[in-house]
Amino acid sequence: MMYTVNPLAKHSYSVVGNEQTPVYIIDNFMTDVDECKQYALTQATFAKPEKSAYPGKIAKLPKEYTEVVLQQAIEVIHTFYQVPTNLRLVKEAMVYSIVTQSEDSLELKQAIPHFDSLSSKHFAIMHYINEGKFDGTGFYRHNPTGFEKIDQQKLPILDKAVVDYFNQKGLPRQAYFNLSDDHFSLIGKVDYQPNRLVIYPGALLHSALIDPNRDVIDNINTGRLTSNIFIDFE
């Protein structure tokens, strides 16, 4: 398969929260997004992740696709996020993802916003692939601490504050976290749009916005299929 970046792709960004964290968006990213789907349908092997809390199934992305995505994304990260070009790229995960887990099987960590890394140079690169009216991705502030991005110094403070909150207010309901409550506030979101690529810092609190009646579909052809690439620089 030939994977090519659309020369007419539209680049934009939004800034979220008090910390003014930029989230980069490229619409109509691939010339033919269906090629990404066809590989998932015909050659990828999906299974529940062993080390990730992702509420669904994942499969390895094709190397040719990841090379094309990374070439574009790394250029954005160097220029837009001003990550020095002399740092070494570290590829952490490169997978297709599809949400399949019902709310009644969610664990606590799957029912609240999370972060991917404590590194300030870690980035998530997500490509929405399938057609469909799915929900997108939300970004959050932890209200008791005011934290939006988490680092090594903030982590123990966050952990204690979360435990204190649950001890006082009780555990959250067993459900996907979609909007805001007195524990976490939604500070920005990116809507799901087929062939949209999103780049954001992995230290930013976030969560997939999942409607259990619409987005949980165990079908590669019709479900909420995305590709997810996680990288760091050191």
pLDDT in tens, 171-182: 999 999 998 999
Residue 24, pLDDT > 80, answer: yes
Chain CA centroid to CA 210, Å:
12
Closest to 204 in 3D by CA, of 115, 93, 113, 92:
115
Bridge partners for 91 per DSSP: 231
Q: How many CB atoms lie within 10 A of CB 150?
A: 22
pLDDT in tens, 41-87: 999 999 999 888 899 999 999 999 999 999 999 999 999 999 999 99
pLDDT of residue 1: 76
Residue 230, pLDDT > 90, answer: yes
Domains present along the chain, CATH in parentheses: 10-233 (2.60.120)
pLDDT in tens, 208-229: 999 999 999 999 999 999 999 9
Beta strands in the chain (DSSP E): 10-16, 21-27, 56-60, 89-99, 123-128, 137-142, 184-190, 196-201, 206-208, 225-233
Phi and psi torsions of 96, nearest 5°: -75, 150
